[in-house]
Structure formats: structure tokens, C-alpha cells
Amino acid sequence: MTNHLKRIAAPKTWNINRKDRTFIIKPNAGGHALQSGLALTVIVRDMLKLANTASEVKKILNNKPVLVNGKRRKDYRYVVGLFDIVSFVDLEQYFKLTKDKKGRLDLVNISKEEAELKFSKIMGKTKLPGGKLQYNLHDGINIICDKEAKVGDTLILSLPKLEVKKVLPLKPGAEVLLANGKHSGVVGQLKEIKGNEVVCQVNKETIETAKKYLFVIK
């Protein structure tokens, strides 16, 4: 597998300048699909402008504590995906990777307190011997806990220990991000669930979309 791909062929979800250079660094395989994650180099160099070259990014990662979800990362191709937290300890700057209104991956500046929590969507669950539950999350994380939740709910996890602090249920009245589909990046209120389809209210507009596209954020 090549370490690069042409910028013009990069996923539409990548918020990058496609005419700046010919190639861009491809992230390593990880918990996020290619269209849902970016290489750490792209975050540091292309989005935050903290470096001019990949070599400078490597020096920063080797010499400065750069954390992803509370753990230090030195791999310049480490994949950072939707709702991951990137912390620059020395600079006291903290960011969350989310989506803008055009459905592109975008960084949002957050506080140190917010950087201690991570949102993860439940994609599957298994009941284990003893009554505990194992949840399979959207970012490749598997956790075991006693709290009851359903597929589609969002878990708020403390970093870096990944302890479940709160469950945000997928139910009418919840504030949701449309993470995929035609309206990707839009935030609205869930009004109705009809099987695998849902109805959301976005400002004064009513949107119908697939239930699997929703990500509960409040």
C-alpha cells in the first residue's frame, strides 16, 4: 500500500487544498474508514498550519507531546477520525474533529475540559458472561461496561481511560449530527423514528434520512 494518494483523488470529505501539491499523505489503516479520517500530518500541516513539510511534522511529533484521544502519538500517518480529540500540550491548544455544513472533516477549537471527553457512537453490542456488555464503537474501540445502551446511542467517554461517563440515547428530541448522506454535516433535532428511517428538524426545514446516518451529540 502506498503512503500517498493524489490530492485530486482524495475523498470529498477531506477539507484540503487540492491544487497546492500533487500528493497527500494517506493515513494508516485504523479505526476509521478513509473517508472518515485524516493522517495526523494533514491535521498538523495542512489544517492547522503548524508545519510546512512532513519532515517538520515528524520533528514535532518526536519532540513535542501531541495527543490523540489522550494518548501520545508519534506516527505521522496515524489516522484521526470523526470526533477524535487532538491535543497540543505545550501550546495548550485542543481540537475536536467534526464535520462542517458541507460534510467535510473540520477541526473545532475546544477547551481543555472538553478535550477530556470523547463522543463515540455504538455500532454493535454483545452480552458477555456475568451480565456485562461489550460495545463496539464507530472508531474501532471496544469497551466493556455495566451501563445499558442501544445501538445508535452515543457514549461520552473520559480520556484517556475510556470510562463511560454518560449515555446519549437516540430518541426523539435528541440533538443529532447527520454524519453521512446528502445532508452530511447538518445539525438538527430528531423528531421521529420510522424503522430504519428518521425525520429531523433543521431550522425550519424537515429532513428525512437514514437512521444509520445520525450521530447523537446532545
Q: What is the pLDDT of residue 204?
A: 85
The 3-state DSSP class for residue 46 equals helix
Q: Are 63 and 51 in contact (CB under 8 A)?
A: no
pLDDT in tens, 2-54: 677 888 877 788 878 777 778 888 888 888 888 889 999 999 998 999 999 99
- The 10 Å Cβ neighbour count of residue 46 is 21
Q: How confident is the model over 81-110, as a mean pLDDT? A: 94
Of 28, 104, 12, the closest CA to residue 68 belongs to 28
CA 127 vs. chain centroid, Å, equals: 26
Q: What is the pLDDT of residue 2?
A: 66
Q: Are 174 and 189 in contact (CB under 8 A)?
A: yes
More confident: 79 or 147: 79
Work out whether strand 93-99 and strand 142-145 pair parallel, antiparallel, or are unpaired. Answer: unpaired
Q: How confident is the model over 92-99, as a mean pLDDT? A: 95
Q: What is the pLDDT of residue 12?
A: 84
Q: How confident is the model over 142-171, as a mean pLDDT? A: 94
Give yes or no for residue 147 having a pLDDT over 90: no
Q: How confident is the model over 57-78, as a mean pLDDT? A: 95
Q: How confident is the model over 138-156, as a mean pLDDT? A: 93
pLDDT band at residue 68 using 50, 70 and 90 as cut-offs: very high
Q: Which residues fall within 8 angstroms of residue 47, CB to CB, at 6 or more apart? A: 15, 16, 38, 107
Mean pLDDT computed over every residue of the chain:
91
Q: Which residues fall within 8 angstroms of residue 145, CB to CB, at 6 or more apart? A: 132, 133, 135, 163, 164
Q: What is the pLDDT of residue 150?
A: 94
Q: How far is CA 157 from CA 34, 70, 154, 197, in A?
A: 24, 11, 9, 27
Strands (E), the chain: 4-6, 23-25, 37-39, 66-68, 71-72, 79-81, 85-88, 93-99, 105-110, 117-127, 133-137, 142-145, 154-158, 163-168, 175-178, 187-194, 197-202, 205-210, 214-216
Q: How confident is the model over 104-127, as a mean pLDDT? A: 94
Superfamily covering domain 116-168? Ribosomal protein S4, central domain (2.40.50.740)
Give the predicted TM-score (pTM) of the model.
0.88
Give yes or no for residue 78 having a pLDDT over 80: yes
Euclidean distance between CA atoms 174 and 189, whole angstroms: 6
Q: What is the pLDDT of residue 52?
A: 92
Of 71, 82, 79, the closest CA to residue 25 belongs to 79
Domain topology for 175-216:
SH3 type barrels. (2.30.30)
Q: What is the pLDDT of residue 1?
A: 46
pLDDT in tens, 172-207: 999 999 998 888 999 999 999 998 999 999 988 899
CATH class of 4-112: alpha beta
Q: Which residues fall within 8 angstroms of residue 14, CB to CB, at 6 or more apart? A: 24, 38, 42, 104, 105
Domain map (residue ranges) of the chain? 4-112, 116-168, 175-216
Q: What is the pLDDT of residue 5?
A: 82
Q: What percent of the chain has pLDDT over 70?
A: 98
Q: What is the pLDDT of residue 91?
A: 93
